[in-house]
Chain A
Amino acid sequence: MQIDLRTVTIKPLRHTFDHIARYLGTDKPVSRYLEGSIGIQPKDIFHYRPTWEPEREIFDEGRTKIRMKDWDALKDPRQFYYGAYTSARARQQDTAEANFDFVESRGLVEALPEEVRQAAIALLVPLRHLAWGANMNNAAVCAYAYAAMAAQAAIYQSMDQLGIAQYLTRIGLLLGDVEALSAGKQAWMNDPAWQPLRRYVEDSFVVKDPFELHTVQNLVLDGLLYPLVYDTIVDQVFAARGGAAIAMLTQFMTQWSAETRKWVDATLKAIVTESAENRSIVQDWVDAWLPRAKEALLPVSAIAVSEQAPALLDEVMEGFAQRLAKIGLSA
């Protein structure tokens, strides 16, 4: 029997789950983001220690030097739970698809000045490996960070980077051919211009502290790389040389970096404002890795913009220093 239940008004016994009400100090309905994130990760009563890291618990605050009274303070301003995340990305991938279609169907690649096409291939194709490295690093942040709040955003970031590696592969195939991909890999492995960057990435692979990794990858490296490569070289330099079509192909990356920056900054701001100790730890990480990132990106950008590279990098550094200042850090 199907009965009409819509007419029934019933008073709820409670509005949310107790662990959330305890956290907020009140029983009220919460957003899907908070309901699916706050306090979700078990914090105690683990039955066994990891055989792969016997000195730690399954989830262990000791994996990082950062100390937080409340790990759920590392909120994501985008409020990404799985549903919100996939719907945002699906929209972006629609746009990306339309952009690829547009460029292909109008023959815009063929219309590119040869020198710009070559420069774009040389600069963008090896970056697919770098994005792959970022996928791996964010997988580590997800696996070893404490609490669901930080861990879930890290798996989104990780898979985004896989998506970026795949968009870069498509760009390589569109601007060049399979050979462009193998040449790009060759360059990534052997070309002296790429070695400081590859070294940076490989060195980050052995960083164990998940929040150091977050700083090294998501703040420092991506914080310079995306503004430099996509916002500056592709969107401005290439566009000015008749390569606006390339900017259409990398629109996903430009928008993505503007968006994910909000998450990176919010989490690090919460960390450094927690205590002076946290601030000095993160500052040490920035001090150790920022000069390396700068040094690594200079020869890479020179591939595409030759002697303009130092000036462009300085410009990007200026913006990055302001960003650090807003977080409570310095360059």
Chain B
Amino acid sequence: MDMQVAKKKLGLKEKYQVMTRDLDWTPTYQKMEDIYPYVHYEGIKIHDWDRWEDPFRLTMDAYWKYQAEKEKKLYAIIDAYAQNNGHLNVTDARYINTVKLFLTGVSPLEYMAHRGFAHVGRAFPGLGPRVACLMQSLDEMRHLQTQVHAISNYNKYYNGFHDFRQWYDRVWYLSVPKSFFDDAITAGPFEFMVAIGFSFEYVLTNLLFVPFVSGAAYNGDMGTMAYGFSAQSDEARHMTLGLEVIKFILEQDPDNLPIVQRWIDKWTWRGYRVLTLVAMMMDYMLPKRTMSWKEAWEIYFEENGGALFRDLSRYGIRMPKCAETIALEKDHLSHQAWCTFYNYTAATAFHTWIPTEDEMQWLSAKYPESFDKYYRPRWDFWREQAAKGNRFYNTTLPMLCQTCQVPMLFTEPGDPTKICYRETDYEGMKYHFCSDHCKEIFEHEPEKYVQAWLPVHQIYQGNCFPEGTDPTAEGFDPLKAVLQWYNIVHGRDNLDFEGSEDQRNFAAWRAQATRNV
């Protein structure tokens, strides 16, 4: 009994301290730089890892308990959704194409995040950030798997899902998210944290995850809603980690500021270019819209992000440079993107369509400055042409930006009638860019970005045909060969929604529920 009395009562913070921070020790049999070889070459100076403030205090026993409860609830919903044919409850089968975009373009990034956070967790000599990173690595495995498991049911009934893993590696527009994450994971551990932990998870997550999840809610997709909301509860931890990382690095040494600022500039832009796909999803692909891309950008970036950067100004951080360019693009981004995909839908693993008259009215109302003037006439023209049997397909492969890998579809800042091209020379070769920002990113690290696997270049070099293809053979059809290599099934995965197998099946299956057939 005496012993009990003598015991010190530990506060929550002290308790967490002994449960985690105190586990570490300073090695003496091996050198620190051999155990942690990756923390110096980026030039970030950390003097005292112990100054790290744990953004959340979660011991493993509590983690297992909370997460297991969440998983149990989530899988109950996923199972019920599948058993009850919940997919037939969505507003309109066009909606399903947003889920295709998510599985092919976002879910594989969850896996990369899982490995990336394991890598940086191992790389940091500080115990606090290491634990937080490893916990996130574990969470990211959750995100990948819950998404694959939930969307697996869609794959059974609809096209455009069946080879998502291979598409992520090979298909032209998916090289945009893939190269984005490859860029982050190949950077040093501190840059990775600024790129993914801060810029992506903290600054941009509301523009990526939230539009998909609320889009699902608006369009009756309970499955996607369930895994989306469930992942959001992990996201809260990831966001606090991202913010803590920035503050910690900046507080450690004034020399870190210019490096961090350049990373924020770079990664806000890199992330924003990936969001091109989300912008068109919000404005064109959701049958029932939640808000326009422009509104989302204004609320989540200009307002919320503005407040964040004002808060960080005490460390000397300013708004990312690219914010001005993005503001000029916000009236145009989604329209230019969807026009491009409409033109290249022969080579996409989802369907496209011309917006209905109702939808065009919505677009006019949301984009009074731009839609009627620049984009409605195009849709009217393409609709007329399609009605005459001249559905327009672009068969010339587009030039891609060397950095972000988006086709050159963006216009000059301030002039929506002129495509924006930039170029630079490096070691006797010419490289092309969509913007000043992408050019600048390249010029800072040309030796990195010259390595990019650009899908269009690769097609021209003959690297994207099935083995044994003879491109010199009579009647060789390059598009057909590329689709075969992608494993996009022509006539099922690609082309217009109108007349697609998805459209037909959805209508027939719903009819079984609503009529006595």
Q: Known A13-B156, A51-B186, A87-B68; judge A206-B451 contact (CB<8 A).
A: no
Question: Which of A45, A50, A165, A188 has the largest count of B CB atoms less than 10 A from its CB?
Answer: A45
Identify the closest chain B residue to A20 (Cβ): B165
Within 8 A of A (CB), among B323-351: none
Task: Tell me the bound Cα distance from A92 to B505 in angstroms.
Answer: 46
Of B64, B119, B122, B451, the residue contacting A49 (CB under 8 A) is B451
Whole-angstrom distance between the alpha carbons of A186 and B22 in the complex? Answer: 12
Interface 0/1 of B154-193, CB less than 8 Å to A: 0111110111111011100001001100110111110000
B118 adjacent to A142 (CB under 8 Å)? yes
Q: Are B175 and A47 in contact (CB under 8 A)?
A: yes
B19, B22, B158, B188: the one within 8 Å of A52 (CB): B188
Please state if A151 and B115 are interface contacts (CB–CB under 8 Å): yes
Contact of B23 with A132 in the complex, beta carbons under 8 Å: yes
Contact status of A6 and B122, CB under 8 A, knowing A49-B186, A202-B30, A206-B34: no
CA distance A58 to B115 in the complex (A): 10
By the criterion CB–CB under 8 Å, are A45 and B1 in contact? Answer: no
Q: CA A32 – CA B23 in complex, angstroms?
A: 35
User: A110-B3, A203-B29 are known contacts. Are A7 and B18 too (CB-CB below 8 A)?
Assistant: no
Shortest CB distance A48–B (Å): 4
Q: If the complex has contacts A42-B168, A203-B29, are A4 and B149 also in contact, measured as CB distance less than 8 A?
A: no
Q: Are A47 and B183 in contact (CB under 8 A)?
A: yes
Interface: A86 (CB within 8 A): yes
**Distance between Cα atoms of A162 and B135 in the complex (Å):** 10
Tell whether, in the assembled complex, residue B141 and residue A18 are in contact, meaning their CB atoms are under 8 Å apart: no
Q: In the complex the two chains form, is A81's CB within 8 Å of B189's CB?
A: no
| Cβ A36 vs Cβ B60 within 8 A | no
Tell me what chain B mostly uses at the interface: helix, strand, loop, or mixed: helix
In the complex, the answer to whether A169 meets B18 with C-beta atoms within 8 Å is: yes
| Stretch binding the partner chain, chosen from A65-73, A133-141, A279-287, A301-309 | A133-141
Q: Closest CB-CB distance, B263 to chain A, in whole Å?
A: 13
Closest to A208 in B: B37
Query: Is B88 engaged at the interface, CB distance under 8 Å to the other chain?
Result: yes
Asked if residues B3 and A58 are in contact (CB atoms below 8 Å), the reply is: no
Q: Which of B204-212, B308-316, B423-431, B508-516 contacts A (4 or more CB under 8 A)?
A: B508-516
Beta-carbon contact of B512 and A8 below 8 Å: yes
A89 interface residue, CB < 8 Å from B? yes
With A5-B85, A36-B148, A148-B111: A178-B157 Cβ-Cβ less than 8 Å: no
Kindly identify which residue among A18, A132, A140, A165 contacts B162, using a CB–CB cutoff of 8 Å: A18
B394 at the interface (CB under 8 A from A): no
Q: Are the CB atoms of B513 and A166 closer together than 8 Å?
A: no
Q: Which of A152-160, A225-233, A257-265 interfaces with chain B?
A: A152-160
With A4-B513, A45-B170, A177-B6 as contacts: A58 and B75 at CB distance below 8 Å: no
**Residue-wise interface mask of B (82-121) relative to A, using a CB-CB cutoff of 8 A (1 in contact, 0 not):** 0111101100000000000000000010011011001101
Residue contact A48 to B448, C-beta cutoff 8 Å: yes
> Which listed residue, B34, B89, B155, touches A5 by the CB 8 Å rule?
B89
Please name all residues of chain A whose beta carbon is closer than 8 Å to the beta carbon of B509 when the two chains form the complex.
Answer: 8, 10
Identity of the chain A residue whose Cβ is nearest the Cβ of B448 in the assembled complex:
A48
B103's nearest neighbour on chain A, judged by CB, is A17
**In the complex, what residue of chain A is closest to B189 when comparing beta carbons?**
A52
Interface status of B390 (Cβ within 8 A of chain A): no
Decide if B164 touches A36 in the complex (CB within 8 Å). Answer: no
- In the complex the two chains form, what is the Cα distance from A39 to B130 in whole Å? 27
Q: Output the nearest chain A residue to B191 by Cβ-Cβ distance.
A: A51
A139 is contacted by which of B122, B141, B165 (Cβ under 8 Å)? Answer: B122
Residue in chain B with minimal CB distance to A83: B71
- Knowing A12-B156, A47-B183, A159-B135 touch, does A169 contact B19 (C-beta < 8 A)? yes
Contact A155 to B152, CB < 8 A, known contacts A47-B451, A128-B23, A181-B22: no
Complex contacts, A52 vs chain B, CB 8 Å: 37-38, 41, 123, 186, 188-189
Chain B 1-29, CB within 8 Å of chain A: the 1/0 string? 10110111010000000111011110111
Residues of chain B within 8 A (CB-CB) of A89 are 60, 64, 68
Do the beta carbons of A35 and B149 come within 8 Å of each other?
yes
Q: Which of A92-143 contact B (CB under 8 A)?
A: 92-94, 96-97, 107, 109-110, 128-129, 131-132, 135-136, 139-140, 142-143
* Contact A139 to B134, CB < 8 A, known contacts A3-B514, A32-B145, A166-B60: yes
Once A35-B152, A110-B4 are accepted as A-B contacts, the answer to whether A83 and B119 lie under 8 Å apart by CB is no
A330, CB-defined interface residue at 8 Å: no
What residues of B have a CB within 8 angstroms of the CB of A140 in the complex?
122
Starting from the known contacts A13-B157, A17-B164, 14 additional A-B residue pairs (CB-CB under 8 Å) come to A39-B165, A42-B165, A47-B175, A47-B182, A49-B451, A52-B188, A139-B122, A152-B114, A152-B141, A166-B61, A173-B7, A202-B27, A205-B30, A206-B34
Binding site for A on B (CB under 8 A): 1, 3-4, 6-8, 10, 18-20, 22-25, 27-30, 34-35, 37-38, 41, 59-61, 63-65, 67-69, 71-72, 75, 83-86, 88-89, 108, 111-112, 114-115, 118-119, 121-123, 127, 130-131, 134-135, 137-138, 141-142, 144-146, 148-149, 152, 155-159, 161-166, 168-170, 175, 178-179, 182-183, 185-189, 448-449, 451-453, 487, 505, 509-510, 512-514
Write 24 A-B pairs (CB below 8 A) sorted by A numbering: A2-B89, A7-B512, A10-B157, A10-B512, A12-B157, A19-B165, A41-B111, A42-B112, A48-B182, A48-B452, A52-B37, A52-B41, A58-B182, A87-B71, A90-B69, A109-B3, A142-B137, A152-B114, A155-B114, A155-B141, A158-B118, A159-B134, A162-B131, A202-B30
